[in-house]
Amino acid sequence: MRKVLIILAVLIACIAAMLAAWIFGGRQLSLFIDRFETIEIDSAKVTLIAYEGSGTGGVLIVNKLELSLNETAPNLSPSIGSSKDNQFALASGGKVFAFGPLAPGERLATAPPVGDDASLETRRSILSWPTPFDFNFMTGQAPLWKRHVYYQLRWRKSSGATLDILWRYEQNFYPSQGWGGGFVTREGSTGLVRLEIKE
């Protein structure tokens, strides 16, 4: 009987340790798993891309989705404007990617030129993590769960040049509302996390 009680106590201690690790280390574990696999929510062809801002920061609008350029990884510093040949373009790390000829109007905007392959994919984490210690004294509602949501813009020009941009945000789960919008920011871990231009 004593041996059974010891085994039971060890089993309970192991389960408690795993739960504590999930609660306190769930975000990091989720990020680790996301490196290898995420779940696709949506994928759409890009029909319009536009920009609102002063050249650095601001918002990149892909179809109707607004993606912030204000929160970026420390090694990223994208700038957006028009090129000498009147193309809507993004520059980063000494490289320039031209989306296409500027559309008439006051803001920077264009549609993918014929021959370009541009898509926006939305994905989410496989692993969500519980947040039993989150409190919101303003509304009285706090999320019970969180997970990461990814927005990835892939653009391949007919010339072979490619652009790959990845944004990561957090998404909250509320018992009365379900999963909320996937644009919650967390300093140091969300926003624009990858930008690669290959000429």
- Look at residue 126 in the predicted model and tell me its pLDDT: 94
Per-residue model confidence (pLDDT) at position 97 = 94
In the 8-state DSSP scheme, what is residue 25? H
pLDDT for the residue 43: 96
Say if CB 155 and CB 163 are below 8 A apart.
yes
Query: In this predicted structure, what is the pLDDT of residue 143?
Result: 84
Q: What is the DSSP letter of 105?
A: S
**Residue 78: closest CA among 59, 91, 67:** 91
**pLDDT attached to residue 103:** 84
pLDDT, residue 175, reads 84
* Two tokens, residue 151: 């927005």
Q: Which residues contact 120 (CB under 8 A, 6 or more apart)?
A: 43, 44, 46, 62, 63, 65, 151, 152, 153, 154
Could you tell me if 43 and 121 are in contact, meaning their C-beta atoms sit under 8 angstroms apart? yes
Q: Which residues of the chain have pLDDT under 70?
A: 1, 4-5, 9-10, 13-24, 135-140
Contact 197, 95 (CB under 8 A): yes
Which pTM was predicted? 0.87
pLDDT of res. 15: 67
